[in-house]
Structure 1
Amino acid sequence: MRWLSDVEECFFTCFCPADKRVKCTLNLLRFSAKDWWRLINMSYTPEQRATVSWEQFSEMFRSRFVPLVERERLSQEYLDLRQGTESVTEITKIFTERTMFCPEFASSEQAQMTQYLSMIKTDIRQFVSTQCYGSLVELQEAARRR
Structure 2
Amino acid sequence: MAPPRRNPGNCQQNANGTTNLQAIIEAIGGLTNIVQHQVGATNPTSALEKFRKLDPPAFKGTKDPIEADNWLKEIARLFRAMEVSDEQRVILAVFVLKGDALEWWESTERTHGREVITWQHFVELFRKRYFPDSLMVQKEAEFIRIAQGTQSVYEYERNFAELSRFAPHMVNTEARKARHFERGLREEIQGPVSMFKLETYAEVVDRALIA
TM-score of the two chains, using structure 1 as the length reference: 0.72
Match of residue 102, structure 2, among 29, 34, 39: 34
Aligned to 1:22: 90
Aligned residues with identical type, % of pairs: 21
Query: Any idea what the Cα deviations from partners look like across 1:69-98, whole Å, max 9, x if unmatched?
Result: 222212111110122233322322322332
Structure with the higher fraction of residues in helix conformation? 1
User: Quick one: distance in 1 between partners of 2:89 and 2:191?
Assistant: 45
Unaligned runs of 5+ in 2: 1-64
Amino acid at match of 2:140: S
User: Quick one: distance in 2 between partners of 1:64 and 1:42?
Assistant: 16
Whether the 8 Å contact between 1:95 and 1:116 is mirrored in structure 2 is yes
Structure 1 residue 83 corresponds to structure 2 residue 151:
no
User: Quick one: distance in 2 between partners of 1:24 and 1:108?
Assistant: 34
The higher-RCO structure (CA 8 Å, 6+ apart) is 1
Whether the 8 Å contact between 1:99 and 1:105 is mirrored in structure 2 is no
Q: Do the aligned partners of residues 8 and 106 (structure 1) sit closer, same or farther apart at CA in structure 2, a change above 3 Å counting?
A: farther
Q: Do the aligned partners of residues 39 and 106 (structure 1) sit closer, same or farther apart at CA in structure 2, a change above 3 Å counting?
A: farther
Q: Do the aligned partners of residues 40 and 10 (structure 1) sit closer, same or farther apart at CA in structure 2, a change above 3 Å counting?
A: closer
User: Quick one: distance in 2 between partners of 1:46 and 1:113?
Assistant: 49
TM-score of the two chains, using structure 2 as the length reference: 0.54
Unaligned runs of 5+ in 1: none
Match of residue 57, structure 1, among 90, 108, 122: 122
Q: Do the aligned partners of residues 13 and 48 (structure 1) sit closer, same or farther apart at CA in structure 2, a change above 3 Å counting?
A: closer
Whether the 8 Å contact between 1:105 and 1:112 is mirrored in structure 2 is no
